[in-house]
Amino acid sequence: MSSSDQHSQNSDSSTNASAPSDIDTSADNSTDSKNTTHFGYKTIEKDDKISMVAGVFHSVAKQYDVMNDLMSFGIHRLWKRFTIDASGVRPGNKVLDLAGGTGDLTAKFSKLVGREGKVVLADINSSMLNVGRDKLRDKGLVQNIEYVQANAEYLPFEENTFDIVTIAFGLRNVTDKDKALRSIYSVLKPGGRLLVLEFSKPEHELLNKAYDFYSFNILPKMGELVAKDGESYKYLAESIRMHPDQETLKSMMDNAGFEQTSFKNLTGGVVALHKGYKF
Amino acid sequence: MQASNNKALTPLSAQASSSTPFAEGLLLPQVATATLELIINKALALNNNKAISFAALNQKTLTLALAELSFELSFTVNTGSSPAMVMVRSQVDTSDCTIKTSIKTLTKLKANQSLTQLIKQDELDVNGDIKIAQQFANIAQSLAIDWQSELAKHLGDVPTHKLLQFGNKITKSISATGKQIEADICEYLVHEKRLVVTLGQVSAFNGQTTAIASEVTAISARIDKLFAKLAAK
C-alpha cells in the first residue's frame, strides 16, 4: 500500500467514509471550513497540514519502498504498471510524475519517452525526493529526468507544458485537492491527460470490512516493526478513509475542467485509477 | 454512520462491476507483462552474442495481438540502459508494427512456413513496418546464453560439472528405458496379441495384392480376346 508524498487535506464534502464505527467522519466533514482541514481523522488548521504531512514522510522516506512491498504484498507494482499502460505514453512525451516519491513511475516513464522526451519527478517532500533521486541514479537513469520540489497546488511550470501528469498515492495528502487539480489542468497541454492512482472505496462490504481490519490493526503494527513508526501508518489508514470515493473524485476532476473523465477500480476498488483529458 | 456507508456502496458497486472487466480488475495483463518483461530482460542480460545491435529498434514498438489473449502484448526497446531493455505493456496508443495472429500460427512460423502463405490464408495480419517484426525475430534467434557458465556462477565449477554429468546420464538412461519400453510394447502387440502387423508383413501383403491385381488384369484381357474371337466367328 503506497502512501506517496505530498501534503494532504480534505476540503471536499464527500469522503471515503469506511472508517471504524467509533470515528464519525461525517462530523469531521461538517467541521471543514476555510481555515480547517483533516489530518487523518483529526481536524486541524490548514496551515499546519503541510508540516504535519511532511513530518510523516520525512519519517518513512528511507523505509518507504520496503513498506510498500510489505503492506501491499507487492501489488502496488501492478497498480503502477496498470497506470503506465493506461497513460498511452509515447517516445518524445513530457511527463510530470507529481508526488512521485521514490520514483517508481518515473523510472518506467523515463525508459518509454526516450532521449527526446522528459520526465519531471516532483514532490513536496525533500526526503522523498532525495531517496527517489538516489534510487534512479543508482539504476543509471539520468538522461531525461529532472527533479523539482513542488507543491501540487502551485505547480512551478508554464501552462501547456506536459503531455501526461500522474499523481500516484499523493492526491489524498494534498491540502486543497480542487486547487491542485486546477493547477494540474493548467500545466497540461491540450490533448494531455491526468492519471490519478489512489486508494479508494472497496466495492464489496465484506472486502471493506477485511480491509478496515487490516488497515487499522495490522498496518500500524507493521509500520512500528519495520519503519519504527506506527503513528505514520495509522495516519496512512485514516487518510485513505477520508479520501473522496470514486464518483466524488471524478466529479472533482470534471469541476476542474477535465473532460472524458473515467475511473477503473483495481483489486476490488481498494485502489482506483482516474483518468481525464484536457482539450 | 454505518447506514451512510452502505448507501455509498450500492451505486459504486453497480458502476464498477460494469466498467471493470474481470481480468483487468485482477490485473492479469499486468502480471503477464511483468513476468514477460522479467524473463526477456534476464535473457538479454545473459546474452553472450555481443554482435546483436538494438540501435535500429530504439523506441520502436512491436505489438502482438494473440487470439487466445484478451489483451495485447507490446514490446518497446530502450537502448538508454546497458544492456538494452525491452519494456512490455498490455496496451499502447501507437505501435510501429502490429501482428494479429494466434499461438498456433506462431508455431507454424517457427516451422518456417511461408509468411505470405499465412497472410493469404488470413491466419496472420500485419499492420505497419514488417521489418520491425523481422528485427525483433532476428534478435530472439541470435541470443546465445551459456547456461553452464551461468549455473557455475551460483553453484561453482565442480558441482555444475557433476550436475551436468548426472543430467546427461539421466537423459541417456531415460532415453534407453524409453526405447526398451517401446520395443516391449511392439513385441506384445505384434507377436503375442497379434493386434498389429509389422512393416514387412504390410509390404508383403501389398506385393501379393499387386501381383493378384496384375494377374486379374491379364486374365481379363485374355477373356476379352476370347469374346472378340467368338464374336468374329
Residue of B nearest to A25 (CA): B1
Question: A225 forms bridges with which residues in the sheet?
Answer: none
CB contacts < 8 Å between A and B, how many?
Answer: 101
Q: Domain map of chain A by residue range? A: 25-277
Residues 19-58 of B with CB under 8 A from A: 19-20, 24-27, 29-31, 33-34, 58
pLDDT for the residue B83 = 76
Assess B10–A contact: CB distance below 8 Å, yes or no. Answer: no
- Can you tell me the distance from the alpha carbon of A98 to that of A121, in angstroms, rounded to the nearest whole number? 6
- Can you tell me the distance from the alpha carbon of B211 to that of B205, in angstroms, rounded to the nearest whole number? 10
pLDDT for the residue A197 = 94
Give percent of chain A with pLDDT exceeding 90: 42
pLDDT band at A10 (very low <50, low <70, confident <90, very high): very low
In this structure, whether the domain defined by B22-142 belongs to CATH 3.30.1050.10 is answered with yes
- Can you tell me the distance from the alpha carbon of B203 to that of B116, in angstroms, rounded to the nearest whole number? 40
- Can you tell me the distance from the alpha carbon of B148 to that of B46, in angstroms, rounded to the nearest whole number? 12
Residues of B in contact with A144 (CB under 8 A): 80
pLDDT for the residue A13 = 38
Residues of chain B with pLDDT under 50: 1-19
Of B30, B66, B1, B40, which Cα lies nearest the Cα of B136?
B40
Q: What value of ipTM does the predicted structure carry?
A: 0.74
pLDDT for the residue B103 = 84
The answer to whether residue A242 scores a pLDDT higher than 90 is no
Of B159, B107, B98, B86, which Cα lies nearest the Cα of B129?
B98
CB atoms within 10 A of CB B111: 7
Q: Residue A83 is which amino acid?
A: T
Cβ of B94 within 8 Å of Cβ of A90? The answer is yes
pLDDT for the residue B13 = 35
Residues 259-278 of A with CB under 8 A from B: 262-269
Nearest CB neighbour to B87, from listed A111, A263, A266: A111
pLDDT in tens, A142-168: 889 999 999 999 999 999 999 999 999
Enter the C-alpha cell of residue A95: 511527463
Which helix (H) or strand (E) is B127 found in, with range?
Answer: strand B125-128
- Burial readout A148-161 (b: 16 or more C-beta within 10 A, e: otherwise): eebbbbebebeeeb
Q: Domain map of chain B by residue range? A: 22-142, 158-232
Nearest CB neighbour to A114, from listed B17, B24, B59: B59
Torsion angle defined by CA atoms of residues A217, A222, A225 and A228, in that order, rounded to the nearest 10 degrees: -90
- Burial readout A14-52 (b: 16 or more C-beta within 10 A, e: otherwise): bbbbbbbeebebeebbeebeeebbbbbbebeebeebbeb
pLDDT for the residue A233 = 76
The answer to whether residue A2 scores a pLDDT higher than 50 is no
In this structure, whether the domain defined by A25-277 belongs to CATH 1.10.287.110 is answered with no
Cβ of B2 within 8 Å of Cβ of A111? The answer is no
Shortest Cα–Cα distance, A50 to chain B (Å) = 29
Residues of A in contact with B63 (CB under 8 A): none
Q: Residue A135 is which amino acid?
A: K
pLDDT for the residue A29 = 41
pLDDT for the residue A240 = 82
pLDDT for the residue A122 = 94
- Can you tell me the distance from the alpha carbon of A37 to that of A55, in angstroms, rounded to the nearest whole number? 17
